[in-house]
C-alpha cells in the first residue's frame, strides 16, 4: 500500500485567476513532493504518459496540483457531473474523508479543461452528486483556457490546480472530515487516440475499474 504525506500549505505572493473569474493565492508547489500515477495494470499498447499530483492543505482547504503529460489532449464535456468526463483527458481522485477504509468514498474527477465531477457514496451506484451551488466554492485553474479541447500537433501537457474547501466535502458527505488520515487512490484515464488507464496504488483486477476502495493507498496530514 502506497503512502503520501500532505504537508501544510505555504503560499507564494502570487495569485492566480480561476475559472470563476476570481483569484486566490497559489501554494508554493516547488517545495511539495509529487506522487506519480505510474502503474498501468490494464496496459495494452501506446504511449504510457506520465502524471504527477501534488497535495497540500491548511486548516480550511485541500489544494491539488495535477501535471499531466499529454500528446493527445481532449475534452468534450462542459457540464458539471457529466458521467462521460472520464472519457476526456482526465485525472480522478477517490478518497475516504472519514479516514475509515471500507467506508463511503468521494470521487473528484476533472478533465484537462477543468470541468468537474464530484460524487459520494459507498459503491459505484446510488451516489450523491455535488450541487452547482456547492461546486462553485471550489476554485480551479487550467493551463488550457478553453471549455473544450481537440487534439493537435502542439499538445504536450496540461496542469490543473484545485482548491477544495473542507466545508465543501462536509456538505457533500454530511460528516466531519478527518484531518489526520485518509485512504485514497489517483487515476489517469480517458482520451481518444491513446486512452490512458493508469493508477497510483495498483489495482489487481482484470479490466479497468476505479471504484475499488480495497486498493486505496494512504494519505497522512502533517502540520
CA 161, distance to chain mean position in Å, is 9
Considering the entire predicted model, what is its pTM? 0.94
Q: Along the 223 residues of the chain, how does pLDDT read in single tens digits?
A: 999 999 999 998 766 666 655 667 889 999 999 999 999 999 988 999 999 999 999 999 999 999 999 999 999 999 999 999 999 999 999 999 999 998 899 999 999 999 999 999 999 998 999 999 999 999 999 999 999 999 999 999 999 999 999 999 999 999 999 999 999 999 999 999 999 999 999 999 999 999 999 999 999 999 8
Q: What are phi and psi of 8, to 5 degrees?
A: -65, 135
Task: Give the sign of the dihedral formed by CA 50, CA 130, CA 177, CA 141.
Answer: positive
Amino acid at each position: 500500500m502506497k503512502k503520501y504525506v500532505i504537508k501544510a500549505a505555504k503560499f507564494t505572493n502570487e495569485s492566480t485567476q480561476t475559472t470563476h473569474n476570481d483569484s486566490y493565492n497559489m501554494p508554493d508547489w516547488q517545495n511539495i513532493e509529487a506522487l506519480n500515477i505510474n502503474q498501468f495494470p490494464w496496459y495494452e499498447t501506446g504511449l504510457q504518459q506520465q502524471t504527477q499530483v501534488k497535495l497540500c492543505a491548511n486548516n480550511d482547504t485541500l489544494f491539488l496540483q495535477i501535471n499531466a503529460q499529454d500528446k493527445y489532449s481532449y475534452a468534450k464535456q462542459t457540464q458539471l457531473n457529466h458521467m462521460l468526463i472520464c472519457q476526456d483527458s482526465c485525472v480522478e481522485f477517490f478518497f475516504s474523508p472519514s479516514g475509515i477504509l471500507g467506508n463511503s468514498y468521494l470521487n473528484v474527477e476533472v478533465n484537462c479543461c477543468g470541468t468537474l465531477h464530484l460524487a459520494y457514496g459507498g459503491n459505484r451506484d446510488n451516489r450523491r452528486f455535488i450541487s452547482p451551488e456547492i461546486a462553485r466554492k471550489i476554485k480551479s485553474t487550467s493551463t488550457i483556457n478553453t471549455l473544450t479541447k481537440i487534439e493537435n500537433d502542439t499538445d504536450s501537457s496540461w496542469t490543473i490546480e484545485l482548491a477544495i474547501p473542507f466545508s465543501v466535502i462536509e456538505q457533500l458527505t454530511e460528516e466531519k472530515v478527518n484531518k489526520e488520515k485518509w485512504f485514497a487512490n489517483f487515476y489517469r484515464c480517458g482520451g481518444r487516440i491513446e486512452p490512458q488507464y493508469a493508477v497510483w496504488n495498483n489495482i489487481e483486477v482484470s479490466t479497468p475499474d476505479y471504484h475499488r476502495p480495497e486498493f486505496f493507498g494512504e494519505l497522512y496530514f502533517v502540520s
